[in-house]
Structure 1
């Protein structure tokens, strides 16, 4: 078999890409791996149900059942008239009540009550939309309303920390363990979240669950991608996002049927338990095994993969890769900073990831405030993102990585800015623009996931991915805080996240095209082979030399 080469450059015979071409770039084994690692992303969006599907200011009034001691047969309307003050618009106060008194009901009716206080015995909520949410169960209203944004922020902090912790963990202990352990954590703390009796324990469970979520999402993409050849490599990231989009669409139906956040958590835990069983049997990344010097394990695994794909594995290729791996300096994060070329790419991707997640979660946390039915809006979010990811897999190969990320970032920034022209009073237009902007942010994140695999060498690929995921989750972390600025003016959050996305789109012009190029196994590959062009004569000469050695 002749070694593969293309117009970008000729692949070295010592590249892992030659091994993948020998055993199959995207055969039966890779398809099983991708499905096994991506299927959990259908379920993981359900974990956001408790912080997405809420009414931040639900219809309510103070619990004033104290007056029923004076007249147990009093109607609800009469009770409100006697115990709850009116606002200026004539509605009953949501946060204040009249101070309880030890009078008979006749005296109360004759003289009325004048002194008010904050709600002393909780609230009574209108449950027409939801049976129970974290807002109603933990009374996150009035002077406790800030705890809602805090709960959202705590969860995003956990996701951010998960990316930070499990990046270095995967470098030291392997991609497989960095996928398995976070998934078990997801299962455990999804259940404990549903059982929490108060908001502090709930936030602790959400924080720990977020660590598992962040660790799994990041490392699942890495593990899948490192087994796929260049012709289908974008599938590793895009199918992950595709399954996540399907999960977003299914989430709308699940919450529409259930309407109770605790029950939704338990339902989420059931498939997670099944995933925890099968995911324990997934194989390790052969790239990582070779990089760690575990050659015999890698060889045994590659032989099994070749058998599954019904291909023949040439062990001579592995020997040349081992020689190359021994010459590569294992510098981790240091090489990302020391190399001027990689540093430029690295910080550009960090900023792009950060900006798209600020935009994505600013819109997501406002799903109930866009003006249309919350379930329909969420369904539109999921369905449109599903279509976008299918297109993304095709366009990444047809148009390339560079054009894809530039166009999605700049177009997304434009659509987000257009929302300023329609809010308030135009719910259909706002929802359409928000859906499109969220779609493009999700699309851009997929391109970032592909880019981070293709720009950096094996020795620091996981570190780059971990720090990139850290930056993206930092964007999600500050999104609730950005939304809080709407209390000063409704346009401030949109100005911020559309501006961030616009800047990242401009900066992305410095990124190179990596379509069809093998993953770099060394720093030299990453620095010198991105834009290197070889003439046809040089390629043919290189191929002749390689083939004579096979």
Structure 2
């Protein structure tokens, strides 16, 4: 509460915070590049098995067309099989494995990791596994750098991860084989997670309560801009190594962040480094045009509260110890998982919609802008209904694509866009909603485990399309059913819009909760906290 009161005096979103968000948003563009570049670097162009016949058996035309699977002289070629002569086999057509390698169409892509390392047919699963390993890096990074940021601070972790991102991103452009490339991308994934998570936290910790939702959406817009720009870059750069280098090398320019990126004063105060925190607060106040007196330092920063109660220590076990808390936690964890699974399931497999891949990527990126904007108008009315409605829209649209024939690719892609719209909006909401569902004493644990569930969904997303071996409709069927289930489960969550945040587990469970079940004496007066926040808002308006 003390730091929020200070922010109200110095300005919750003044010039200092606006400049901070410039520094935070700039890397978000490059994070989007790295997140979705595999759509193009790992694309599978049309390919056919290279012929290995002798000169006597060769077909009359050696200049065959990759778009054709048959020739007028009776020869047939399959993408994973060698040439076979119909006349010698009669009706009993059989195919041998491809021994001579593959010929790839260069109509759309000059070169991809698939064409360079032949990740097709028997090796096709390696491509999907590579994407999943990259997503595993995001999971490891969320766990590792979340802990390190709490220990060493947000700023240093952001700087370290920006450096890792540049070095390993450029290194991936020169990878000698698929396995080295995948290992480099894994480390790159850990750094992406470290930057995304800690940049968001750094911005939030410097922003006043009234502006936090808007500030969080600003970073989403920057990520969306990167999503859109990637389509243009990939269209102009058709070689995967050059494209990987183009999105990675500019990362070295972020070296100047060493001098301009501020630390988190809130974290410094929590770490008992109050003098350093006060210097930052004074600098922010000066930049915002609200210089502070020394009295505020003595009254707010160095103030020592007398505490008569003994605080109960909490752990992640408290998320599932009591009935309501268990129900809320499990539902929120599932919503994180389902949102990210479907978001990346749609985003990373746009080639499945059989339209121009660059145009589809551009439209998918453009869809993100209105999807994130609309949440600004719906969230303050109702978190619960907003979450429920957008999950229902996204799930229903994805489910309808199952019933659209492949010939109607425009309609199928249009429905996928609507699905992407709903899921993107839902994903923006879950950040805010989950932070308000968990009480203060276990909020960080709840958000941390929710993030792990989200990354698990990200790991599984590239593997969704391996389900095509079971049924061509299976991936989109799953993308439809998972959000619809989440929409139904959202009905069991509380409404948190325009209500005070719960501080203790007892605030969630009610007054009948015993101390043995995780209840504590209500030493924190929620009404007093609410009045302080209202006072803060009044000061900010003035």
TM bucket, shorter chain:
0.7 to 0.9
Cα-Cα RMSD: 3.9
3-state secondary structure, aligned to 1:233: helix
Question: Higher mean Cα deviation, 444-453 or 469-478?
Answer: 444-453
| Alpha-carbon contact 2:13-2:207 (below 8 Å) kept | yes
Is the Cα–Cα contact under 8 Å of residues 155 and 210 in structure 1 kept in the other structure?
A: yes
Alignment of 1:316-395 (within 5 A): 316-320=299-303, 331=314, 333-338=316-321, 343-395=326-378
Tell me which moved more, 205-214 or 413-422: 413-422
Q: 1:493 aligns with which of 468, 475, 483?
A: 475
Name the counterpart of 1:129.
Answer: 108
Maintained 8 Å contact 1:164/1:467 = no
1:323–1:180 Cα change, 3 Å: farther
Aligned partner of 2:79 among 91, 94, 98 = 94
Q: Please state whether the residue corresponding to 1:490 is helix, strand or coil.
A: coil
Name the structure 2 match of 1:193.
172
How far has the Cα of 1:448 moved from its partner?
Answer: 1.8
Task: Report the equivalent of 1:283.
Answer: 262
Mapping 1:222-261, distance limit 5 Å: 222-261=201-240
- Residues 406-457 of structure 1: CA deviation (Å, up to 9, x unaligned): 2211221222222222143221111111112112212212112223444556
Contact 2:500–2:526 (CA<8 Å) still a contact in 1?
Answer: no
Corresponding residue for residue 441 of structure 1: 423
Q: 1:301-335 CA distances to partner (integer Å, 9 max, x unpaired)? A: 21221111111442213344766799766645355
Q: For residues 458-497 of structure 1, what are the structure 2 equivalents within 5 Å? A: 461-497=443-479
SS state of the match for residue 92, structure 1?
Answer: strand
Of the three residues 287, 290, 294, the one matched with 1:311 is: 290
Give the Cα–Cα distance (whole angstroms) in 2 for the partners of residues 347 and 120 of structure 1: 51
* CA displacement, residues 164-211 of structure 1 (integer Å, 9 cap, x when unaligned): 212222222222223222222211111111111111111111111111
312-321 or 404-413, which moves further after superposition? Answer: 312-321
Decide whether the 8 Å contact of 2:36 with 2:347 is kept in 1. no
Give CA deviations for 1:21-56 in whole Å, capped at 9, x if unaligned.
111111111111222112211122222454212675
Q: Which residue of 2 aligns with 1:408?
A: 390
Shift in Å, 1:285: 2.0
Q: For residues 333 and 304 of structure 1, do their structure 2 counterparts lie closer, same or farther at Cα, with a shift above 3 Å needed? A: farther
RCO higher in 1 or 2 (8 Å CA, sep ≥ 6)?
1
Q: What is residue 35 of structure 1 aligned with on the other side?
A: 22
Q: Is 1:177 the equivalent of 2:162? A: no
Q: 2 CA distance for matches of 1:365 and 1:208? A: 19
Q: 1:422 aligns with which of 404, 425, 431?
A: 404
Which of 118, 129, 137 is equivalent to 1:158?
A: 137
The whole-number CA distance in structure 2 between the counterparts of 1:325 and 1:299 is 27
- Residue correspondences, number: 510
Q: Distance in 2 between matches of 1:320 and 1:524?
A: 28
Q: Distance in 2 between matches of 1:76 and 1:163?
A: 59
Structure 1 residue 463: Cα displacement: 4.1
Post-superposition offset of 1:370:
0.5
Alignment match, 2:123: 144
Q: 1:107 maps to which residue?
A: none
Q: Which moved more, 1:286-295 or 1:164-173?
A: 286-295
2: CA distance, partners of 1:116 / 1:415: 39
**What is the 5 A alignment of 1:538-549?**
none
Equivalences for 1:2-13 in 2 at 5 Å? none
Task: Compute the displacement of 1:143 (Å).
Answer: 1.1
Instruction: Name the structure 2 match of 1:58.
Output: 45
Contact 1:17/1:519 (8 A) holds in 2: no
Task: Check whether the contact 1:153–1:478 (CA below 8 A) recurs between aligned residues.
Answer: yes
The 1:85/1:482 distance shift into structure 2, 3 A limit, reads closer
Shift of 1:139: 0.6
Q: Is the alpha carbon distance of 1:517 and 1:32 closer, same or farther for their aligned partners in structure 2, counting shifts above 3 Å? A: farther
Q: How has the CA–CA distance of structure 1 residues 410 and 340 changed in structure 2, closer, same or farther, with 3 Å as cutoff?
A: same
**Do structure 1's residue 24 and structure 2's residue 11 form an aligned pair?**
yes
Asked if 1 retains the 8 angstrom alpha-carbon contact of 2:45 and 2:109, the reply is no
Paired residue secondary structure (2:355):
coil
Q: Contact 2:39–2:348 at 8 Å: present in 1 too?
A: yes
Give the 3-state SS of the residue equivalent to 1:130 in structure 2. Answer: coil
- Quote how far apart the aligned CAs of 1:276 are: 4.1
Q: Alpha carbons of 1:310 and 1:379: their partners in 2 closer, same or farther (altered >3 Å)? A: same
CA distance in 2, matches of 1:453, 1:173: 23
1:365-399 deviation per Cα after TM superposition (whole angstroms, max 9, x unaligned)? 221121221111111111111222233234334x2
* Whole-angstrom distance in 1 between the partners of 2:216 and 2:63: 58
Between 1:175-184 and 1:448-457, the stretch displaced more is 448-457
Supply the distance in 2 between the matched residues of 1:115 and 1:348 (Cα, whole angstroms): 51
Q: Is the 8 A contact 2:342 2:479 kept in 1?
A: yes
